[in-house]
Amino acid sequence: MSILIAILVLGGMCLFFGALLGYAAVKFKVEGDPLVEQLDALLPQTQCGQCGYPGCKPYAQAIANGEAINKCAPGGEDTIKKIANLMGVDVQPLDESHAQDNTPKVAFIIEEDCIGCTKCIQACPVDAIIGAAKQMHTIIADECTGCDLCVAPCPVDCIKMIPIAQTTHNWQWDLNRINVKTIDADDYSNKQSNNVKTNTTEEVNV
Amino acid sequence: MVDYLLLLVGTVLVNNFVLVKFLGLCPFMGVSSRTETAIGMSFATTFVMTIASLLSYLVNNYILAPLGLDYLMTMAFILVIAVVVQFTEMVVHKTSANLYRTLGIFLPLITTNCAVLGVALLNIYQQHNFFESIIYGFGAALGFSLVLIMFSAMREKLASADVPMPFKGPAIALITAGLMSLAFMGFTGLIKLQ
């Protein structure tokens, strides 16, 4: 009899706690992995695949699972610093195999060589190549992020990466760095954050 | 009131669970290599210990004792502790994904932290009442946190110190823990109970 009571008591406690945990599991359900979301927000979203992953989100996932943080070439040192901060690890220099000159480039199709195979269109992560089968393709220079991904699939090697020439139109004056204005101490912090914002937009536009 | 205060100070310093009773050494050595992680672990353990000692008191006094099922104490307490730990794990996962990742396996392992079960059982053996149980659990957790955070701070310093080759790594950590334990023995004469 006492054994029956013991079993009933323990079973009842287990049921009660189980129900409690079940309720908590619903209540505290984690939508996706918040760490991956945060990492994804830090990455430059060029979807270039230079890190060896098919895009920024998969790389964010990989970092969350312990992949090295120094593989994002377009993000450069800034991104590595931010990721290191978020993950609580040390800042590392950009991976050797990915280290490259960071001059902005744009893909260019040598149009007379193009056979219209559409392979580069499939490779382009940002849909910056227009053209159809057996038709000559061309690149929308404004959309191109310079990620190199279309170069390898081209069977006739008619795509080359050309550095963006510095012209009077896209010359960066970096006026923000020549800070000669005297400003109020109160406004200073506001101005500072505004400056940072304009700076980044200009860099993206290049 | 004074009794409660004495109990708290006594549990934190004089009868420190880690350095005097030698309970809960696994997270003490495992999670102490970085201070931030140690602080996170301290919060999680404090929460678990306090709630677990409260719940185990209730379970013992209102379910087990009236039915004469005292022999089920250990099993019932482990059940209670496991539930509280699981609940804490869910909350930590929801609130701080980063902490959840750094604590890793040590978070669910609070279940097997002998200090937690130790508090629950000692509460019964020392016949603490409801409030004493809570204070005893909280004090034990506070002592654990204090020692864990101090130890992690020391280990961070030790990581960059010029330690002789044979003592590098866990060896010097264990020696440090031993020295800390010696220091805590010094608190023994702090409170004189009649």
- The domains located in chain A, with CATH, are 43-98 (no CATH), 103-165 (3.30.70.20), 179-205 (no CATH)
Distance CA B146, CA B141 (A): 8
User: Which chain A positions have a beta carbon within 8 Å of B67's beta carbon?
Assistant: 5-6, 9
Q: What is the pLDDT of residues A82-137, one digit of tens each?
A: 888 877 777 777 766 654 555 677 888 888 888 888 888 888 888 888 888 888 88
- CA angle B74/B76/B78 to nearest 5° reads 70
Q: How far apart are CA B193 and CA A134, in angstroms?
A: 95
- What SS3 class is residue A107? strand
SS3 B152: helix
pTM: 0.61
Instruction: Tell me whether 0.95 is exceeded by the ipTM.
Output: no
| Cβ contact A9–B75 (<8 Å) | no
Residues A42, A200 contacting (CB under 8 angstroms): no
Where is B122: in which H helix or E strand?
A: helix B114-125
Distance CA B184, CA B10 (A): 12
pLDDT band at B177 (very low <50, low <70, confident <90, very high): very high
- Whether residue B143 contacts residue B190, with contact meaning beta carbons closer than 8 Å, is answered with no
Cβ-Cβ pairs closer than 8 A, A with B, add up to: 52
A26 touches chain B (CB under 8 A): no
pLDDT digits (tens, 9 = 90+) for B140-151: 999 999 999 999
Cβ-contact B172, B143 below 8 angstroms: no
- What 8-state DSSP symbol labels residue A176? G
Map out the domains of chain B as residue ranges: 51-159
Torsion of Cα atoms, B16 then B21 then B24 then B27, to 10°? 60
A29 contacts in B (CB within 8 Å)?
94
Q: How far apart are the first and last CA of chain A?
A: 82
What is the pLDDT averaged over residues A183-200? 58
Q: Are B49 and B137 in contact (CB under 8 A)?
A: yes
3-state secondary structure of A103: coil
